[in-house]
Every structure is written in structure tokens, then in C-alpha cells.
Amino acid sequence: MKNQSWIVDRASTGTYDPRCFRLIEDPIPSAPDGKIVVQTLLMSLDPTNLNWLKLDPQLQAIPFGIGDPMIGVSIGVVLESRAPAHTVGDVVTGMWGWRRFDVVDPLLVRPAKAATEMSFEQQLAIFSHVGRAAAGGMTLIGEVKPTDAVLVSGAAGATGSLAAQIAKAQGCRVVGIAGGPDKCEFLLDELKLDGAIDYKQENIREAVHRHFPGGVDLFFDNVGGEGIDAVLTNMAIGCRIVLCGAMSQYDISDNSHLYGVQNLPLLIFRSARLQGFVADFGPRNHVVDNLLEDLTQRGQLVARTHVVDGFENVPDALALLLNGKNRGKLLAQVSFETIPG
């Protein structure tokens, strides 16, 4: 059996083109001293992969370039170990290359839960950077409180749907923004949100003003663009705008077309705050993980997953995030079975 990797063949410069990736084959690697070889079972496909593909060091979490494999968060099984903390057959989750088999630093992985306790799909949808972004963004950055009127954009997506449910679990009134009637139905019927705005049908600014007559207390933004101005012009005193993502700005052919936010000075008059973050809260990660564990145990977190079958389909699948055709956390099933070590 051979190894396969999706390497970056060229930087993404305009709208996303799956041909920026190239599939290469090489032998299955062996583990050098102190490292493990992991066989990838299930991969998380994320909007941030679109940003990393631009090969702009300001956008990359871990530097890599042309000829290197794309990096992502995955679940896999240890095939070979030359690290004391791991034995063959351990199931781990962490960040490594878009490869069927990769050499991984044990410091970059942690044990996954057993599949009998929670499916690997649910683990990547909740107990990952996605859940951490939703829970940490809402609580540590947004400082959500039960009296807040909360707006979430990208609310039918992987991160937004968790963020909205976390605010609901706090007792907040929560309105979500999503694209299309079926996604808005999902927000109202499945997530039990208090309102839904279909940004493809409605004028966002008018809709935000209508849903929040007393102003927005907390905006959890996954989309960027005009939604920020809609909130800036309708903030309650002390409003927090949490920048988790900017989906509307990731697939722009030319940086001069990026949306320019116009109403920032209004932050001053509302004693408001706008803050971005990445989903690594260092010593506070355990607080976030405990919240996710607690809400999951209580049945207060629903995570839809959208699983694409096959490693060979990964670059094409990434486009689903841009055209909104994913229904839940986008994942790729690479393998169901482990090969004998």
C-alpha cells in the first residue's frame, strides 16, 4: 500500500480553484525517534484551509509552502510509535498533513474518545477547534450573559450553530443569520432560535434593526462584510462584536474588493468592543472543553455533520463551504479500516 498526500501545487490567488492542490504518492513513512506515524481516518475540512492556501504568512497558523501538504485537524490511529506516550492502535486527534499516513509530533495530538463513547464525526464537530471557537468565542471573548440579545451569523454552519446553542443554553434571546429557507427553518425548528434572517432574501440592516429593537448586546460573526455595519448601526450600550470568521471575504479575487466597514466610530458612542480570536485559549482551553462536555452530556448541543467519502474528493469538497452546500461540519472519510502495524 502506498501513501497519498494532497500537496499545495500553487498558491490560491483569486477565487478558489481545487487545482491548486496536487495528489502525490510516496511510500508510507516510518517514525523517527520521538515521533509517531498516524493513519488518517477522518479529516476536518475548514474555511481556514482556504486562507492557508493563499500562502500569506499573516494568515497561516503553521508556515508551509508550495510542495508541502495542506494541514488540517484529523482523527487517526497510531500505526507506529517511537514515542513513549503512544502505542500502536491508539486513536488520536490533532493537526497533521492532508496525508493518508503522516509522521506526527506527539505534542501535537491528544487521545480521541473511543468511537463507542462518541462517533468520530461528532468528536471533530464538537470536541475540536470548532467547538472551542464556538464556546470560547461566546464565553471568554463575548462574555455572554443570560440577559443578552445575541446575533450569530453563519448560524446554520458548524461553528455558528454551536455558538447559537451555547447562547441559548445561557438563556439568551438568539437570532441567527443564514442563507436560504431550509437553513432558516433549521435554525427555528431544530436549534429553537428566537428568530432567523435569510441574508439571501432580506436586507440585513433592516432585519437586524427589526429583530433587535433594543439593540444587539453580542454579535458572534462568522461572515464579515455588511453584517458588521448592520450591527454597528444597531448596538446596545456595551455591545460585544466577536470576530470568529469572515466567510464572505475568503473567496475574493482581488484584495481591493474586500468589504470596508464604515461605522467603526459608533463603537465609541456605545462603549462597545470588537475583538477577534483564534480557537486556542491556552491555559483556559480546559474551561472551554468542560463547557462543551457539560452541554453535550445535557443534550444541549446538536452538531450536524456533512461527510464526504474519499480522500480523492477532498479539494473539490472544500468548495462546498463557499457555495453553502455543506449541511453541518464538513468532514472527509479517508479510511474506515486500519492496516496492520
Ligand X SMILES: NC(=O)c1ccc[n+]([C@@H]2O[C@H](COP(=O)([O-])OP(=O)(O)OC[C@H]3O[C@@H](n4cnc5c(N)ncnc54)[C@H](OP(=O)(O)O)[C@@H]3O)[C@@H](O)[C@H]2O)c1
Residue 106 or 136 having the CB closest to ligand X: 136
Site residues, ligand X (CB under 6 A):
46-48, 129-130, 133, 154, 156-160, 178-180, 183, 222-223, 244-248, 277-279, 321-322, 324, 326
Residue 106 or 245 having the CB closest to ligand X: 245
How many CA atoms are closer than 13 Å to the CA of 340, on its beta-carbon side? 0
Least CB distance to ligand X at residue 63 (A): 18
Least CB distance to ligand X at residue 78 (A): 26
CA 36 from centroid of its chain's CA atoms: 26
Least CB distance to ligand X at residue 182 (A): 9
Per-position DSSP letters for 44-58, written without gaps between them? E--HHHHHHTTT-TT
Are 142 and 242 spatial neighbours (Cβ–Cβ below 8 Å)? yes
Least CB distance to ligand X at residue 245 (A): 2
Least CB distance to ligand X at residue 153 (A): 7
Q: Which three cell numbers stand for residue 35?
A: 515521533
How many CA atoms are closer than 13 Å to the CA of 316, on its beta-carbon side? 7
73: helix, coil or strand?
strand
CA 127 from centroid of its chain's CA atoms: 11
Residue 88 or 251 having the CB closest to ligand X: 251
According to DSSP H, which parts of 118-180 are helical?
120-126, 129-136, 158-169
Are 86 and 78 spatial neighbours (Cβ–Cβ below 8 Å)? yes
Residue 76 or 157 having the CB closest to ligand X: 157
Least CB distance to ligand X at residue 279 (A): 3
Residue 66 or 278 having the CB closest to ligand X: 278
116: helix, coil or strand?
coil
